Protein backbone atom coordinates (compact mmCIF):
# COMPACT_ATOMS: atom_id res chain seq x y z
CA UNK A 1 0.00 0.00 0.00
CA UNK A 2 1.09 3.55 -0.62
CA UNK A 3 -0.35 6.64 1.03
CA UNK A 4 -2.51 8.96 -1.02
CA UNK A 5 -0.30 11.90 0.02
CA UNK A 6 2.88 10.23 -1.29
CA UNK A 7 1.14 9.15 -4.50
CA UNK A 8 0.15 12.78 -5.11
CA UNK A 9 3.66 14.09 -4.33
CA UNK A 10 5.18 11.57 -6.76
CA UNK A 11 2.47 12.37 -9.33
CA UNK A 12 1.65 8.70 -9.82
CA UNK A 13 -1.07 7.67 -12.26
CA UNK A 14 -3.99 6.22 -10.30
CA UNK A 15 -6.34 3.53 -11.60
CA UNK A 16 -9.82 3.63 -10.06
CA UNK A 17 -11.76 0.46 -9.31
CA UNK A 18 -14.60 -0.78 -7.13
CA UNK A 19 -14.19 0.20 -3.47
CA UNK A 20 -12.68 -2.50 -1.21
CA UNK A 21 -13.06 -2.48 2.59
CA UNK A 22 -9.96 -3.74 4.44
CA UNK A 23 -8.83 -3.80 8.05
CA UNK A 24 -6.24 -1.04 8.40
CA UNK A 25 -3.59 -0.42 11.04
CA UNK A 26 -4.95 -1.01 14.52
CA UNK A 27 -8.04 -2.73 13.11
CA UNK A 28 -9.52 0.52 11.79
CA UNK A 29 -11.64 -0.15 8.66
CA UNK A 30 -10.13 1.45 5.56
CA UNK A 31 -11.59 1.79 2.08
CA UNK A 32 -9.42 1.40 -1.01
CA UNK A 33 -10.72 2.64 -4.34
CA UNK A 34 -7.57 3.06 -6.45
CA UNK A 35 -4.23 1.46 -7.25
CA UNK A 36 -1.03 2.45 -9.02
CA UNK A 37 2.03 0.81 -10.51
CA UNK A 38 5.44 1.59 -8.98
CA UNK A 39 9.05 0.52 -9.47
CA UNK A 40 10.87 -0.53 -6.32
CA UNK A 41 14.68 -0.53 -6.53
CA UNK A 42 16.62 -2.69 -4.06
CA UNK A 43 20.34 -2.17 -3.81
CA UNK A 44 22.09 -1.05 -6.97
CA UNK A 45 20.64 -3.30 -9.66
CA UNK A 46 17.45 -5.06 -8.58
CA UNK A 47 14.20 -3.43 -9.77
CA UNK A 48 10.67 -4.73 -9.17
CA UNK A 49 7.42 -3.42 -10.67
CA UNK A 50 4.39 -3.71 -8.36
CA UNK A 51 0.74 -2.78 -8.34
CA UNK A 52 0.02 -1.10 -4.99
CA UNK A 53 -3.24 -0.03 -3.38
CA UNK A 54 -3.52 3.70 -2.71
CA UNK A 55 -5.07 4.64 0.63
CA UNK A 56 -4.47 6.61 3.81
CA UNK A 57 -2.40 4.07 5.75
CA UNK A 58 -1.76 5.90 8.98
CA UNK A 59 0.05 8.84 10.48
CA UNK A 60 3.69 9.13 9.29
CA UNK A 61 3.44 5.94 7.17
CA UNK A 62 4.05 6.48 3.45
CA UNK A 63 4.48 2.92 2.19
CA UNK A 64 3.52 -0.44 3.65
CA UNK A 65 5.03 -3.48 1.91
CA UNK A 66 3.91 -6.95 2.96
CA UNK A 67 5.76 -10.22 3.33
CA UNK A 68 4.66 -11.26 -0.17
CA UNK A 69 6.90 -8.48 -1.49
CA UNK A 70 9.75 -9.39 0.87
CA UNK A 71 9.62 -13.06 -0.14
CA UNK A 72 9.43 -12.50 -3.89
CA UNK A 73 12.19 -9.88 -3.73
CA UNK A 74 14.51 -12.16 -1.74
CA UNK A 75 14.77 -9.82 1.26
CA UNK A 76 15.82 -11.55 4.48
CA UNK A 77 15.06 -10.12 7.91
CA UNK A 78 17.61 -10.47 10.68
CA UNK A 79 15.54 -9.53 13.71
CA UNK A 80 18.32 -9.97 16.30
CA UNK A 81 20.53 -7.37 14.59
CA UNK A 82 17.60 -5.28 13.31
CA UNK A 83 18.68 -5.59 9.67
CA UNK A 84 16.99 -6.19 6.34
CA UNK A 85 19.41 -8.02 4.04
CA UNK A 86 18.83 -7.26 0.35
CA UNK A 87 19.41 -9.82 -2.44
CA UNK A 88 22.86 -8.35 -3.20
CA UNK A 89 23.77 -8.77 0.52
CA UNK A 90 23.50 -5.03 1.22
CA UNK A 91 22.18 -4.43 4.76
CA UNK A 92 19.63 -1.81 5.77
CA UNK A 93 19.14 -0.90 9.43
CA UNK A 94 15.44 -1.29 10.32
CA UNK A 95 15.49 0.47 13.69
CA UNK A 96 17.93 2.12 16.05
CA UNK A 97 20.95 4.21 15.20
CA UNK A 98 23.77 1.67 14.99
CA UNK A 99 24.04 -2.02 14.21
CA UNK A 100 23.75 -3.97 17.46
CA UNK A 101 26.62 -6.26 18.31
CA UNK A 102 25.56 -9.88 18.44
CA UNK A 103 25.21 -11.44 21.82
CA UNK A 104 25.49 -15.17 22.15
CA UNK A 105 27.70 -17.99 21.02
CA UNK A 106 28.87 -18.90 17.55
CA UNK A 107 29.22 -22.65 17.72
CA UNK A 108 29.98 -24.86 14.76
CA UNK A 109 27.44 -27.68 14.57
CA UNK A 110 28.60 -30.94 13.07
CA UNK A 111 26.78 -34.24 12.89
CA UNK A 112 28.78 -37.04 14.58
CA UNK A 113 28.36 -39.21 11.47
CA UNK A 114 27.69 -38.45 7.82
CA UNK A 115 24.16 -37.16 7.43
CA UNK A 116 22.27 -37.22 4.12
CA UNK A 117 18.65 -36.03 4.08
CA UNK A 118 16.04 -36.44 1.39
CA UNK A 119 13.31 -33.93 0.69
CA UNK A 120 11.00 -33.47 3.71
CA UNK A 121 13.27 -35.52 6.02
CA UNK A 122 14.68 -34.04 9.20
CA UNK A 123 17.30 -34.88 11.80
CA UNK A 124 18.19 -33.62 15.25
CA UNK A 125 21.85 -32.81 15.89
CA UNK A 126 22.88 -32.32 19.52
CA UNK A 127 24.85 -29.14 20.23
CA UNK A 128 27.76 -29.82 22.56
CA UNK A 129 28.41 -26.77 24.72
CA UNK A 130 31.71 -26.29 26.54
CA UNK A 131 33.38 -29.27 24.95
CA UNK A 132 36.91 -29.47 26.29
CA UNK A 133 40.05 -31.09 25.01
CA UNK A 134 40.22 -34.34 26.96
CA UNK A 135 44.02 -34.59 26.48
CA UNK A 136 44.67 -31.47 28.59
CA UNK A 137 43.96 -30.95 32.27
CA UNK A 138 44.09 -27.44 33.79
CA UNK A 139 45.09 -26.69 37.38
CA UNK A 140 44.65 -23.59 39.53
CA UNK A 141 48.28 -22.42 39.30
CA UNK A 142 48.28 -22.42 35.50
CA UNK A 143 50.26 -25.66 35.15
CA UNK A 144 49.30 -27.88 32.23
CA UNK A 145 49.82 -31.61 32.30
CA UNK A 146 49.03 -34.27 29.73
CA UNK A 147 46.21 -36.59 30.84
| Cα(120)–Cα(136) distance, integer angstroms | 42
Residue 72 lies in a domain: yes
- Print the domain residue range for 48: 2-93
pLDDT tens digit at each of 147 positions of the chain: 888 888 889 898 898 888 888 776 677 787 888 888 888 777 666 677 888 888 877 777 777 777 777 777 778 887 777 788 877 777 777 776 665 555 566 666 677 777 888 888 888 877 766 655 556 555 555 555 565
pLDDT in tens, 11-44: 988 988 888 887 766 777 878 888 888 887 776 6
Residue 49 lies in a domain: yes
DSSP class of residue 22? E
Q: Which of 123, 116, 146 is nearest to 134 (CA)?
A: 146
| Number of domains comprising the chain | 1
Q: pTM value?
A: 0.48
Residue 75 lies in a domain: yes
Amino acid sequence: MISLDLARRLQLTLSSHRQIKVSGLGGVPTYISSSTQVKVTLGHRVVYVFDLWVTNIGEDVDVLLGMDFMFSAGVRLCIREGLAILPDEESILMYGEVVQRRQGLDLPIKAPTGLHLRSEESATVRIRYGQSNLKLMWFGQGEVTDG
